[in-house]
Structure 1
Amino acid sequence: MADPANIVPTLDEKQSLSDASLEKRASDAGAVDDARMAKEVEEFEDRLQHDEAPDEEYLVQEAYEVAIKVLSNHDDPELPAVTFRTIILGLGFGAFGAVLAQIYYFKPQTLNVSALFLLVLSYWFGNAMHMIIPSGGIFRYLTPVPSTLPSPTHAPSVKEHVSIIIMSSTAATSATAIQVISVQDLYYDNQLNAGLAIFTLIGSQLIGYGFAGLLQDMLVRPTKCFWPGKISTANLFQALHFDNQMTSKRVRLFWTVFVVMFVWEIIPQWIFPLLTGISIFCLANNTNPIFRNVFGGASNNEGMGFLSWCLDWNLIGSDCLFNPLWLQINQNIGICLTYILMAGVYYGNVWRSKDFPFMSQAIFAEDGTQYNQTALLTNGKFDADKYATLGPAFFSGTNALYYVTSNLSLGATFTHVFFWHWQDIKPFLRSFNPWNKEEYVVHDPHWEKMKVYKQIPRWWYFVLLAGAFAIAQATNYEGHSGLPWWALIVLLIISFIMSLLFATLDATIGFREFNSSANGFYQMITSYLVPGDPIANLYGALYGQHPQGQCIAMLGDLKLGQYCKLAPILGTVVGAILNWVMMVTIIDANREALLSIAGTRLWSGQNAQSFNTNGISWGGLGPQMFGINGVYHMVPISLAIGVFLPLPFIAAWYIWPKSGFENFSTPIILQYSCYLSVGINTSVNPAMAIGLFSQWWVRTRYPRWFTKYNYIVAAALDGGTQVISFILNFAVFGASGTAHSFPEWWGNDLSLSADRCAPA
C-alpha cells in the first residue's frame, strides 16, 4: 500500500480523470460494474501516466465534474483519523475558536473565525507536534501509523487534519442560541442558569445534526451534490498531504500566493484604505449625495458601489474563483437588477423612502427619527395603547425592498427545487417507506471508496433527533420563552423542509445566501404564530434558523469528509459550553457598555441590540407593519408570489429545451435583486470580473491549469488574507484593547469615508 505522502500529484489527478470518465459512463448505464470499472481504470491509468491525455480530459464541462477531475480519489483505509493529535488539536482549536467567536460577537467590528485560518494554524501546530514528540517507544501510541506503509511517517495525516478542522470549525461560531440568551439577560432581566443555557445551545445544534443525518443519502453521497464551497478546502488538504512537499508545484504555488497576500493585505486594510473602494465619481465630486448613493460603497451602508473597484481580497473573497459559472451569471443578473430596483424605490419615493436614509436596517418613526421600540412593551409584550401614542414604524425603502426580494426568492425556491430536482428527491423520500424494498443507490467514485468504512445507520439519527427534540421542548418550557409547544413543532417542520431546499441549492450550485434572510423569514412566521411577544419571536428564529444552519454546515462537513475519505464524525459541542462561559463573563463585566447605543472602543452590544430590535419589530409590530393594512403588506404576500416566478423559465425550457433556460435560477436572481442594501459593496465589480475570468476564460481555454491550480490559488488567497486579518485585528485594530491607526495621509484620511464620497 502506497504512502500518501509519496504519491505524485499527477497520478492522483489522472486517477480522478479516469474515475470521471468511468463515472459518466456508469451513470448513463444506471449502475457501476466494479469488474469492468477496475479494468478500465487500469487502461486509463496506463495511458494517462505517460502524459498522453488530451486537454479534453481536463476540461470541466458540467459544474459537478470538478469533484472528480480536480480532487484525488486516493485513500488509505488504515490511516487513523482519531489520534492523540486529533483530540488535542481538535479540542484545543475548537476551544480557541469558540472563545474568539464569542469575543468577536461583542466587539465593535464583528468578525468570523475562518475555517481556512484554523486549517493553516492546525497544519503548523500538527507538524510542530510531529517534530517535538518522539516517534519511538511508548510515544508510538501518540502518533500511530499503519504497519503496512513501506516508509512510515509520523507527520499528521490528511484524515487527522480534516478531523481537527471539522471538530474545531463547528465549535468556532457564536451560536444563534447565544444571541437569544444574551438578549434575555441584557434587555429582559432573565438570566438562564448554566444548565438550561447550555442545553438550549446543545439541543438546537443537535436538531440540525439530526436533520443532516437524514438528508445525507441525497445531499452528500451523489456526484451531482458536489458542494462547490468545499472543493478548494479539500484540494488544499490533498495538496498539503498527498503532494511531495519539496517538488510539488501546487504546494509551492500555495505558499507563494499565501505569503504575497499576507504582505499585501496590510496595505489596503491599514496603510492605504482608499484601495478598498476606488470610485472615480466620488473622487471627482465628494459633495453629491446621489454620487454617494449610487457610486459609493467603501463604508458600511454608504451606497451601491456602481462602477467602483476594490483591491482588498478580505472583501472580495474566493467565492468568485470556485462558484460555478452559471451560479455567478445568475448572481450577476440579480446584481444588475439591484442597481435598478434600489434606485427606483428610493428616488421613486416608494414606501416614503426619501423620508429615511438610503440604506439602513433601523426602524424609524414618522418624523425620521429612530423608533422607540422598547417603549412599546409592557411586561415584555406588545401594548396597543403605547403603540397608539408612538405611532406607526417604518423601514428604509431599500431595507423593505430586501425583505420583499428575499421572500420572493424563498417562494421561488420551493418551485425551482421541486421541479428541477424532483427526480433526486422522489427516490430519497421513498427510501423512508418501510414497505418499499428498493434500495436507495448512489454511484460516485468518492462514495465508492467510502464503502469500506462502517456507516452510521439512519435509525441512529432518528434517535438523535428525538433526543434533541425532547431537550428543545424542555428548555423552551423552562426558559419561559412564550413559544407554545405546537409552535415549536411547526417551526421545526418548516426548518427541515427549508434545510432540504437550501441544502440542495448549496450542494448542487453553491448558493449560500439563504442565511442572510433566514432569521427574518422565521421571525415573520413566528409573528403570525405568536403575535405580540418579542421573546417568543426570538426563540422562533432560534429553532428555525439555527437547526437549518447547523444542518447545512454539517452536510458540507460530511461532503468534505467524503472527499478526504474520512469516516462520519460529529462536530464537538465544546463550543456550546465555552460560548456560554464567555458570554456570561463579558456581560457581567461590561453590561453598561453593551447596553449603550455607541458602546466603547473595546465592547459593543450592537449585535444583541440588532437581534432584539428584530424581535421587537417582528414580534411586537408584525401585524401593524406587515398586516393587510400595514405599509409593508407586500412582504408576506411576496412569499406566495415567488412560488409562481420560476414558471416562465420552466415554460421556456419546455418550448425550447436546448436553449439553456434550465441554467437560469429564479431564487438566485431574486435573492441578489437587493443584494447591495447593506454592508460594503465595492467588492462586487472585481468579484464579477474575476469570476468570469476564472470560471469561463481559464476553465475553457486552459483546462489543465484550471483543474490543477485554480482551487489551490483560491485557498491561498483566502488563507493569507485571513491569517494577516486576524493578526491586524489584535495588533492594530483594537481587538486586544488598544487601536493603532496608521499615520494620516491622503490615502488614509480618517475624517472621510475610504472612497471619499459625500458624508451621509
Structure 2
Amino acid sequence: MRLRIRPLGYFLRFPTFLKREEKRERSGVVVVNGGDSEVKEHVDVPSLGKTQVSKEVEDSNHPNSNNSEPEEKSIATSSNLKDDPILRTVTVRSCIAGIVMAIVGGSVAQLFIYKPVFLHVPALFVQLLCYLIGSGLSKIPGPEWWNPGPFSSKETGFSAIMAVSASIDSIAIYMLCAQDLYFNKPASAILALSTIFSSQMIGYGWAGSMLPSVALIKSLANKDKVANDQLKFFKKSFWAISIYEFFPSYLTPALQAISPWCLTFPKSQSVTQIFGGSQNLEGLGLFSMSFDFAIVGAGSLYTPLDTQITQWIAALISIFLFMAGYRFNWFGSGLGNNFPLFSADLITSSGKKYNLTSAVFPNGTENLASVEGLGIPMMPTATILGKSFNCAASSAAVMATILYHWKDIKSVVMRSKSGGAREDPHRTIVKKYRQFPTYVMLLIILAAGVMAILASHFGHSGLSVFGMLGSLALSGLISISAGFLFASTGVVLSIMRKGLTSGGNSVSHFWFTTFASTSTYQCLNILKGQYLLLSPMSVMTGQLAGSVIGLFANYLVMEIIMRNQRDVLLMPNGNGVLTGIHILSYQSQAISWGVFARRLYLPGKIYSVVIYGTIAGLFAPIPIYLLERWKPSVGFKKFNVSVFFNALPDLGGGVTSGKMNAIALGIWAQFYMRRYRRKCDVLAAALLGGTEITIMILLIFFQGGAPWKLKIPFYFLNPDGPRDYCEVRP
C-alpha cells in the first residue's frame, strides 16, 4: 500500500476537493440483494425481503431489544432505501452547522454534570437544529462551493454526527473534578486535555455499532408535507418550552417540586423520606408533582408502553424494598444504626459521614492508621440494593443477548468478508464510497494509547503500564457488545474488574474505569453515517472533528464552573442550581471499589449481595425465556428482565419529584399521542432541547456561571431551602 502525502494547500482548495469527492461518488454502482430482487443506485427499494433491515424490524419488537430510544426504531422501520451519490456531504455550510452545534452540545453536556438532574443532549434536537442552521445558510446566495443547492440529508447527517460526537459527556471529567475537589489535586491544562482526548479517541479505534436515527433527517431533506408539519411543530414546542423554563428554573423554583404532604403534615424525616423529592437523595417523591421538564424528562414520550409498565412495576416494588430494608436495618445500614435512607457519601458504622480525606492519601492509597480508627466505610441499605440491581441488570442483559440473539451473533461471527444475503443493505451501498483506512484506525488506537499512558504517568495515577493496557483491552471487548448491551454493562463490569483484582488504589481505579468505560460511549454512533449512506471517510472525519471541538468545550465549562462555584459543589446538596452530587457519587464508588472492595464485596463480606446480584442476573432471564418458548401466546416476552432490574434503583437517587408526572405523561403519550407518534419524538427533542438551552443561558448569565450573579429575592415560590418545604437531614 502506497501512502500519498498531500501538501496542506491541497486540502485548502475546498471547492476542488469537494468536486474530486463528487466524481469518486459518481463512479460507483451499487447492487443490493434483497430476496429475489436486485436494486441499483438511485432506485427506491420498497421491499428488501428477508434482509437485515426486516430482521431488525422483528428484533425491535423483541422483549430484550434495546428500544427505549426513539432513534433506534426509526431506522429499522424504514423500508425505503434511496441513495443519491451526487449529493455532497462535506460542505462549508455543513461544517459551520456542525461546529456551532458541537460547541453548544459539548457545553450543555458538560454543564449538566453539575446540575441536580443529569440530562443527555437529545440527538434529535441536535439534528433538527443542524438542519435549521444549514437551511438558513442555504438561503444566502453565493458561489457553488458555498451554496450547491438545498441543504441535503447527507449534509444534515454530517453536521449532526459532528455535533452529537461533541455532546457525549466524558467520564474523564468526573475523575478530574473529583481529584480537584476532594484531594486538592487540580490537573494542568495539558494533562486534562490529554486525558480527555485520549479516552475519547480510543473509542474510535474499536468497531462498536448501534442503530441511530436517520428517518427524521431524510424526511426533512425531502421537504414533504409531513416533514414541514414536523418542523413547524418542533419550532412552536421549542420556543414555548424555552420561554416557560425561565419560571421553574429561575423565577418560581418552587414549581420544581410540589408536595402537599410536606406542606400539611408536621415536619419529620419520615414524611420527607416518603414524600420528599426536590433534592438529590431526599426521598422517594411519592405523590409529589413537578412542573419543570428538566426533572420530569422526555423518556415517557417515546419509551414503549410495555417497557414503561415494567418500570412502573419495578418502582412500586422498590418502594417496599427500600423502606423495609431501611426499617429492619438490612446489612446493618438502616434506621437501627442511624443511617440516612439515601446518601452518596460513604458512612461510618454509627451513621456519620466517613472522613475520606483522612482514610485515603492524595495518591489514592489507604491510610491504615486512620482506617483502623474509622473502620471500613459503609453505605445505606438503598445504595447497596441499587448496586445489586444494577449488577443484576447488566448480567441479565448479557444472558438475554445470548438467549435471544444467538443466531445473530453466530451469523456475524461466521459471515464471510464478502457479506452475503445477511449483510446490511446500507453497508452494501456505502462500500462504493471512500473508506476510512484500517491502518489509520490502528494508528488512532496506538497514538491514543501512548497518550493515555503518558497522561497516566505524569498524572501520578499509580496505574502501571500493564494496568492501562488492560483497561484499553477491556474497552475493546466491551465495545464489541455495546450494540447489544449499551453502556451500562461496560461501566459496571470495568469497576468490578479493577476493584477485585488490584492492590487497592482509588486513583488508579479512577484511571482504569475512565479508559475502560469512556471508549464504549464514543463508538456507539460509529454507524450513523452508514444508515444515512455517507462515505465512511466523511463519518469518521465528522466524529473526530466533533470530538476535538467537544474536548475544548468540555474543558472550558469545567474550568469556569470549578473556578466560580467550587464552594457550592462541596456543599451536601449544592444550592439548588448547581451540585457536586454526581462527582461525589463517582468518588465514593472509586474508593469503595478501589480501596475496600475485598473487604466489602467478596463472598462472606457485609455487601457480598452485590456479587450475588450479578450471579442472579445471569439466571433470571432463563425462566422467562423458557415460558415464552412454552406458551408464546401468553405474552411472557413483554416482561424484560434487564429493564426490570435496571428500573428498581430509579427511586433510590436523584431528584424524584417528577416521577409521578412522568407516569402521567407516559399514559397520555401512549393512549392519546400515539396516533401522532411521528410527532412524539419531535416533541421530546423540542421540549428537552429547549429546556437545556434555557438552563444553560440562565446559568451563564444569571445564576453564577459567569463571575456575576442576579439573585431572585426569597419568597413563597422561591424558598430558602428545599423547594417542596420538606425537612431535610442536616
Which residue number corresponds to residue 390 of structure 2?
A: 406
Relative to structure 1, the CA distance from residue 563 to residue 502 in structure 2 (aligned partners, 3 Å threshold; closer, same or farther) is closer
Question: Structure 1 residue 142 and structure 2 residue 146: aligned?
Answer: yes
* Cα-Cα RMSD: 4.0
Question: What does residue 215 of structure 1 align with?
Answer: 208
Counterpart secondary structure, 1:34: strand
For 1:148-547, what aligned pairs fall within 5 Å after superposition?
152-153=149-150, 156-184=151-179, 197-211=192-206, 214-216=207-209, 219=210, 226-227=211-212, 230=213, 234=214, 236-243=216-223, 248-351=228-331, 352-354=333-335, 355-378=338-361, 380-431=364-415, 439=419, 441-442=421-422, 450=430, 453-456=433-436, 461-462=441-442, 464-506=444-486, 514-515=487-488, 519=491, 521-547=493-519
Matched, 1:83 2:91: yes
Structure 1 position 362, deviation (Å)? 0.6
Cα distance in 1 between the residues matched to 2:480 and 2:354: 37
Would you say the 8 A contact 1:199–1:471 is kept in 2?
yes
* Contact map agreement 1:304 1:677 (CA 8 A) in 2: yes
The 3-state SS of whatever aligns with 2:321 is helix
Q: Distance in 2 between matches of 1:311 and 1:265?
A: 9
Given residue 719 of structure 1, which amino acid in structure 2 is its aligned partner? G
| Partner residue in 1 for 2:38 | 34
Quote the Cα distance in structure 2 between the aligned partners of 1:274 and 1:605. 21
Q: How far off its partner does 1:371 sit?
A: 0.6
Residues 684-733 of structure 1: CA deviation (Å, up to 9, x unaligned): 2332333344346654xx3xx33x43323333333333333333333443
TM-score with structure 1 setting the length: 0.77
Letter in 2 for 1:365: T
Aligned to 2:706: 736
Residue 582 in 1 paired to residue 556 in 2? Answer: yes
What is the match of residue 565 of structure 1?
533
| Pair 1:372–1:190, CA change in 2 (3 A) | closer
Residue 61 of structure 1 and its aligned partner are, at CA, apart by 7.6
Contact 1:114/1:722 (8 A) holds in 2: no
Give the 3 Å change call, closer, same or farther, for CA 109–195 of structure 1 in structure 2: same
Q: Which AA in structure 2 matches 1:420?
A: Y
Are the structure 2 counterparts of residues 497 and 664 from structure 1 closer, same or farther at C-alpha, using a change threshold of 3 Å?
Answer: farther
Aligned to 2:28: none
Match of 1:149 in 2: none
Q: Cα offset for 1:549?
A: 1.9
Rounded Cα–Cα distance in structure 2 between residues aligned with 1:738 and 1:725: 16
Which range moved further: 625-634 or 92-101? Answer: 92-101
- What TM-score does the superposition give when structure 2 sets the normalisation length? 0.80
Match of 2:726 in 1: 757
| Amino acid in the other structure paired with 1:537 | H
**SS of match in other structure, 2:651:** coil
Structure 1: distance between partners of 2:628 and 2:226: 51
Q: How far does residue 418 in structure 1 lie from its aligned partner after superposition?
A: 1.1
Counterpart code for 2:513: A
Are residue 548 (structure 1) and residue 520 (structure 2) matched?
yes
Q: Does 1:667 align with 2:642?
A: yes
Deviations 1:165-206 (A, max 9, x none): 321332245522233345455666766666554443333222
Match of 1:716 among 683, 686, 689: 686
Q: Distance in 2 between matches of 1:157 and 1:519?
A: 37
8 Å CA contact 1:523–1:618 kept in 2: the answer is: yes
Equivalences for 1:593-612 in 2 at 5 Å? Answer: 593=567, 597=571, 608-612=583-587
634, 640, 652: which one pairs with 2:609?
Answer: 634
**1:750 shift after superposition:** 0.5
Segments of 5+ residues of structure 2 without an aligned counterpart are 1-31, 49-59
Task: State the partner residue of 2:10.
Answer: none
**How much has 1:372 moved relative to structure 2?**
0.8
Q: Indicate if the aligned counterparts of 1:744 and 1:750 stay in contact, CA closer than 8 A.
A: yes
Percent of aligned positions that are identical: 25
Q: Is the 8 A contact 1:173 1:575 kept in 2?
A: no
Question: What SS does the aligned partner of 1:423 have?
Answer: helix
What SS does the aligned partner of 2:278 have? coil
> Per-residue displacement from partner, 1:298-353 (whole Å, max 9, x unpaired)?
32222112233333222223222222333323323322222221122112221231
Contact 2:102/2:550 (<8 A) preserved: no
Amino acid at match of 1:267: F
Greater CA drift, 334-343 or 574-583: 574-583
1:437, distance to aligned residue in structure 2 (A): 6.5
Letter in 1 for 2:419: E
CA spacing shift, 1:585–1:692, aligned 2, 3 Å = closer
Partner letter of residue 376 of structure 2? P
The 3 A distance-change label for structure 1 pair 291 and 562 is farther
- SS of structure 2 residue aligned to 1:90: helix
Mapped to 2, the partners of 1:729 and 1:120 lie a distance apart of: 24
- Picking from 617, 630, 647, the partner of 2:592 is 617
